[in-house]
Structure 1
């Protein structure tokens, strides 16, 4: 069900920071078996805590597309930009969408002209779509006063990659126009991470893509981590070896996922899943030799 524009946007308070979830679209049930083929129904139903929020009783995964928006150190920040409207995509669930995403973003207090920074965890079609919107038949930056930021490793990898036509189309309509406008900044994200501004860091979580990053927020002793696609679904907490069909390096992806989960487990750190269905956020607790998510509902 699509959220109403009149409803308050889901948010979590982290010290002085309010983190808003900006919904784009729930993805269809067929997404789970395609994206996470090893998350078979029997594997999912074996984790009773995934129901009712993250899977149905038959073991079908619930997966969403959304962004996170917040203000940190005076900067108005958006993390990932979803699929976008009117984009020609090979995946039918992403093709030629028409959602009120920008209206929701504005309702959260982040009209496009006010955004200062757009962080791209990686350069996949469902994370860069709203980088641009169509004006008079031309794709132009949606956030004209923002700096768009991704890791240098990420952009360099794709620059040398032999892309198929679908990926070339995505870069042509959602990445290259931002570069041509002079708005894309590349950041060297070392093993210890990269501080963007006080309270906001990028941490390397390679594997899904070579330059994938997670986003860490801190304020007054509170901490949150936005997963990007290091973790697509909470079932991967119980089974960290489950990877995505589009992982560039599955072994490294699993290692990054295990390291991230280990770093937040049994702490007060809030995990915010970039594709987690509502309630979207939670705290990671140890369960046997793996983990589970204790949901923290939005305000």
Structure 2
């Protein structure tokens, strides 16, 4: 039986849909403040999230779950066959859709795609190439994005690489009438019972994170408000592509303070396996206490599986 790494949140099962590990050069480029010496000082990062020499481990994956009657995908990764300036993202050939289908979420079954923000490694599988044209991958889904996010990029002076990303991965969804812009207030936006969007600005102005809640259990999908667990110990470390670094740090500090000591399961969109954990205080800041995934039976397109993870 095919299984995917999964966690349970009440009766919601969250599946990690793997796309590709990111190369070692990603860490120094993306998080230049996370120097090898600084990373190596955090023993808890090894062996899961960093190598012994302080090299960061980062992944590209997305998350799929069923909330109520909705089959939900959070972010869509890098995508196949896309022209990208970043060589780690350029013209990929992964089995992402096969992995998604094996988890019980064939593309035609997805009802809702939540885009935490409009960066190339989060929107790529919005579309796929069919006979030379970029068409929506999830034809019956509504694609949700913050209105603030879309309007920011509409007014932004984009370079050719970003223009290309919009042409192949965002505009086709808009032209198909499937992109919904939503206003996300400070207290968050409930999309459906058990699923809430939370504003987490800084990386981009309209960035949102996703909260899942069921039967008293809660999970938080980060998007890019946190890229790597080293930022738990050093919240001031930002990404080189943060639009507003100061806002990004404020968001991270407030988020970590709100999660520390709770049972909320944090699921990192770029965290290497084990990907998830709880936030605990550590040496005056925080660390991620890993919660390993368990194998879970595929979720039937006709309804959620009744199996439970075994961890």
**1:139 aligned onto 2:134:** yes
- 8 Å CA contact 2:78–2:125 kept in 1: the answer is yes
Cα deviation for residue 263 of structure 1 reads: 1.2
1:12-51 correspondence to structure 2 within 5 Å: 12-51=7-46
Please give the per-residue CA displacement for 1:141-192, whole angstroms capped at 9, x wherever unaligned. Answer: 0000000001000000000000000000000000000000000000100100
| Aligned position for 1:291 | 286
Per the alignment, residue 182 of structure 1 pairs with 177
Deviations 1:13-68 (A, max 9, x none): 11010000000000000000000000000010000000000000000000000000
Aligned to 2:233: 238
After the TM superposition, list the runs of 4 or more consecutive aligned residues in structure 1 that deviate by more than 4 angstroms: none
Unaligned runs of 5+ in 2: 295-311
1:10 match: secondary structure: strand
User: What is the distance in 2 between the residues matched to 1:219 and 1:146?
Assistant: 23
C-alpha RMSD over aligned residues: 0.6
SS in 2 for 1:19: strand
Shift of 1:259: 1.1
Task: Determine if the alignment matches structure 1 residue 82 to structure 2 residue 74.
Answer: no
Which whole-Å CA distance do the structure 1 matches of 2:121 and 2:2 have between them?
A: 24
Structure 2 match to 1:62 = 57
Deviates more, 1:129-138 or 1:254-263: 254-263
Is it true that 1:209 corresponds to 2:200 in the alignment? no
- Are 1:128 and 2:128 matched, yes or no? no
- Match of residue 248 from structure 1: 243
For each residue in 1:227-283, what CA deviation from the matched residue of structure 2 results, as whole angstroms up to 9, or x when unmatched? 000000000000000000000000000001111111111010000000000000000
The alignment's TM-score, normalised by the length of structure 2, stands at 0.94
Q: Is 2:264 the counterpart of 1:269?
A: yes
1:112-153 Cα offsets, whole Å, 9 max, x none, are 000000000000000000000000100000000000001000
Q: Distance in 2 between matches of 1:90 and 1:219?
A: 40
Question: What is the count of residue pairs matched by the alignment?
Answer: 294
Report the equivalent of 1:103: 98
- 1:289 positional shift: 1.9
Q: Contact between 2:2 and 2:102, CA under 8 Å: does it hold in 1?
A: no
The DSSP-based 3-state class of the residue aligned with 2:4 is: coil
